Structure 1
Amino acid sequence: MSLFHTIRIKQHERGFWFRHGEFQGLVQPGEYTIWFWNRNRDRIEIVSTLTTKFEHPLADVLLARGDVRDALVIVDNADNERALVWRDGRLAHVLGPGRFAFWAVPYRLHVERFDVNTFTLSHPRLQAILGHGEASRWLDGVQVGQTETALLYRDGVLIDSLNPGLHVFWKGTGRVVWKAVDLREQVADVAGQEIITADKVSLRVNLVVTWQVADAVKAVAASADHGQALYREAQLVLRAAVGARTLDAMLSDKETVGAEVRDALARRAETLGLAVRGVGLRDIILPGDMKTLLNQVISAQKEAEANLIRRREETAQVRSQANTAKLLSDNPALLRLREMELLKDVLVSAKATFVFGPGDLAEQVRSLASVEK
């Protein structure tokens, strides 16, 4: 039986030397011989440095020794601190409060420490950090779309308005919530609202409102649902505009009504943090009996207009004939020419040959025409 016991510690290993259970020191790589009879007194515990994070039941005792601390990278985080540990350029650990130790070899370690009171985490490698398995315990993030903004609240207080992109913040700093706000132009159909006009006619009006969020902070603070609030305001404004007009005024000038509604609604929308881009009266729906009556009125109006046009044409025709008669009376030669044109029209279908002698040609033609008859 050998009187000695040999222990070999490889390059990627370290040894913890205990005597009678008390830690004596760190043992570096090499070969060590222990007297056989002392093997129960002296014990060397071998650990691998390939497991970067140093964990041991007696960690506090071991870290009290300078030689152990020199072989380790120690991260001691206060309650308001977090740390990222990079191993050979890759994220290895995300650390919360507490004391942590990592073997300094054989890997190249880099530690980044952060104060969570700054709340947000700005880092060139956010995607890599969020993809780590330990990140969800200490970090949270919000992805804001290209057409959105997001309002970030901590403990009920607005702390930031987030532009499009990825935003990451530390957990454990209060109750954090965020609300996304769509900045795109939207359309509200105010449909089927029944309104009574100034002349007591009941009708239904469909209104189209184009709008978008102009001030996200004001829009969220002013109403729980700014789209519904604008819809309600559009109903009130439309009712006021239509109720102040007669039916004829409504039908004859819808553009003016739309402009009045747009101006009034724009002022109210501004208090909601919204901007009205356009307003239009899409449909005006009358009751069935009112439609029949209105059609009769329109038919009567059109018939009266047609009669007026006919009277004007008859008057113009009579005036033209009177002017022609006066012109022929004042110009005998023109009268004779007109007579010849009329005789030509009378005889155009006659199949006969006439020879005229000397004398009044018109008298001869008239006599022939009377003979033909």
Structure 2
Amino acid sequence: MFLFKRLKIRSFEMGLHFRDGEFRGLIGVGSHWIFDPFNRTNVEVVSRRAPFLAHEKLDLIVKSGVLKGYAQVIDLQDDQRALVWIDGRFARILPPGQHVVWLGQREVRVEVVDVRAPRFEHVDLKVVLQSATAREQLETGAVNRGCVGVLFLDGRCAGLLDPGPWAFWKRSADVRVVEVDLRETTIDVPGQEIMSADKVTLRLNASATYRVVDPRKAVCTIDDHKQALYREAQLALRAVVGGRELDALLADKEAVAVEAAGLLAPRAEALGLAVASLGVRDLILPGDMKDLMNKVTEARKAAEANLITRREETAALRSQANTAKLLADNPTLMRLRELEVLEKVVAGGKLNVILGEKGLADRVLNLL
């Protein structure tokens, strides 16, 4: 049996002296002889290169007061957390409880944070969030570019979050962030079967472009503002189409879109939205109505062609009547016309029999 034990503590180490399970103190750097004939003494050598002292009897060690000058004791309440920076680099987030950080070997900086304010904001937020301990202590997320986050704490709307990362202390509040896209968005309103004022059923395809102008209202007023706007656009289009006859609808689709947009705008505003445009892409008639419209168009075109033909015939007859009257009133002009005819007959090299007014025939024979 050995009465003495030899112990060597190096420059970066510290000895924790226990006797019969009770903490007796620290053993510093150097060689030490410990008298222990009954093997009741235990010395645990720990490295101070590891910044934190972790021990199952840490409370006893702290309570003894021997750590003063060798280590910094951090005692965190339930509403506190500590950010620890070692050698200028972020190391971890400390939870509530007692923690001991060795001094001397490493440059240690501790920042105590009050978590009664649920949101965690820090100039080095992105660096802190990369730590594994951050995921244990914080609820994290990010708002995408072009969007805004509507924040709810314990079920109540608490504000808006700008694009970028966000973090809230766990168990400090029930946190929910609803992301809202602020960019212009287009919704399609396809295949709407609507009856016009003259009882014609047609299919209508339309689209609406909108953007969110009041994110709080868009989230708190309705569970799905996009679906709500879709329903409101349906109702507006039905109201406009139902008040017009088919011919008016086909003649001016733009007027239908403008009137429908006017009806939709105040309804969208109540949802926190602004309608940029509403357009009617297609008006689709049923098959039998298409055939009927084609027949009407064909009959209209045929009537127009017939009218043009009659106008041309009337103009031709009017021109002939004017010529005949002119020749009858001017014998000299009549004579010149007869000579022109005779010239054409002779030039053709053949004789033609011309039947006409008696005087004209006799004169032609005399000329021959």
Please tell me the TM-score bracket, short chain as reference. Answer: 0.7 to 0.9
Match of 2:110 in 1: 111
> Is the contact made by 1:189 and 1:209 (CA closer than 8 Å) also made in structure 2?
yes
Matched, 1:255 2:231: no
CA contact (8 A) 2:236 2:264 kept: yes
TM-score (normalised: structure 2): 0.85
1:147-166 residue CA offsets vs partner (Å, 9 max, x unmatched): 32221211111122122221
> Please, what is the CA RMSD of the aligned residues?
3.1
Q: Deviations over 1:77-122 (max 9, x none)?
A: 2222111112112332211222211111311111122122332223
Gaps of 5+ in 2: 351-362
TM-superposed CA distance for 1:4, in Å, is: 4.9
Distance 1:4 1:186 in 2: 83
Query: Which shifted more, 287-296 or 260-269?
Result: 287-296
Aligned residues with identical type, % of pairs: 47
Say whether the 8 Å CA contact 1:143–1:164 is kept in structure 2: yes
Matched residues in 1 for 2:335 and 2:367: separation? 18
- Match of residue 299 from structure 1: 298
Counterpart for residue 311 of structure 2? 312
CA distance in 1, matches of 2:366, 2:102: 138
Decide whether the 8 Å contact of 2:168 with 2:175 is kept in 1: no
The 5 Å alignment of 1:1-373 reads 4-18=4-18, 22-35=22-35, 37=37, 40=39, 43-321=42-320, 349-350=348-349, 371=368
| Counterpart-to-counterpart distance in 2, 1:5 and 1:242 | 101
What per-residue deviation string (whole Å, max 9, x for no partner) do you get for residues 246-267 of structure 1? 1111112221111111111122
Displacement of 1:18 in angstroms is: 4.1
Q: What do residues 13-46 of structure 1 show as CA deviations (whole Å, max 9, x unaligned)?
A: 1123345654443222112233465x74665432
- What SS class does the counterpart of residue 161 from structure 1 fall into? strand
Question: Which amino acid in structure 2 is aligned with residue 104 of structure 1?
Answer: L
| Corresponding letter in the other structure for 2:32 | Y
Q: Deviations over 1:309-334 (max 9, x none)?
A: 22333344444455666777888887
| C-alpha distance 328-47 of structure 1, shift in aligned 2 (>3 A) | same
Cα 1:149–1:337 change in 2 (3 A) is: farther
Contact kept in structure 1, 2:82 and 2:95, CA below 8 Å: yes
Partners of 2:59 and 2:98 within 8 A in 1: no
Shift of 1:10: 0.6
Task: Give CA-to-partner distance per residue, 1:219-253, whole Å, 9 cap, x none.
Answer: 11222111211111111111111111111111122
How many aligned residue pairs are there?
358
Give the Cα–Cα distance (whole angstroms) in 1 for the partners of residues 57 and 297 of structure 2.
101
Distance 2:305 2:149 in 1: 64
Q: Secondary structure at the match of 1:172?
A: coil
| DSSP-derived class of the 2:294 partner | helix
The structure-2 alpha-carbon separation of the partners of 1:142 and 1:348, relative to structure 1 and needing over 3 Å to count, comes to farther
Q: Decide whether the 8 Å contact of 1:63 with 1:69 is kept in 2.
A: no
- Tell me, which stretches of 5 or more residues in structure 1 are unaligned? 352-365
Say which SS state the counterpart of residue 309 (structure 2) adopts: helix
> Deviation at 1:66?
3.4
